[in-house]
Amino acid sequence: MGDVSYCPYSNEGPILLDSGPRAMTLFQISDLVDLAARRDKHVVLVASPCPAPDCGRLRADALLPLLANPKLKLWSSLFLDEETAERVAKARATDPDAD
């Protein structure tokens, strides 16, 4: 569905890559979830539109699993653009499984 710092995830949770090439990261998704849950730590997630010229893709679809699945609650502060926020709010309002 998406990735956070090159760590991929699906609707069900983090995707652990045990073999093959992968990006070198400081934290895995599970590490970020643990840090975000601590009162003495802050994990900031920034979801901005695609920066490529003439792209403009939003991150709404990629954010939905992060909002719905506790195994992906990897931030203490979330920053996003207005259009993405509106699309996420609309999707969550129409989803009976959204918490």
Question: What are the distances in angstroms from CA 83 to CA 26, 32, 48, 50, 89?
Answer: 30, 26, 10, 13, 10
Cα–Cα distance for residue pair 1/87, rounded to 1 Å: 16
Q: Which residues of the chain have pLDDT under 70?
A: 96-99
Residue 13: what pLDDT? 94
- Identify the pLDDT of residue 25: 82
Q: Do residues 74 and 4 make contact, with C-beta atoms less than 8 angstroms apart?
A: yes
Calculate Rg over the CA atoms of the chain.
14
* pTM for this entry: 0.80
Which amino acid, residue 35? L
Q: What is the pLDDT of residue 97?
A: 64
Specify the pairing of strand 7-10 against strand 2-4. antiparallel
What's the confidence (pLDDT) of residue 99?
A: 57
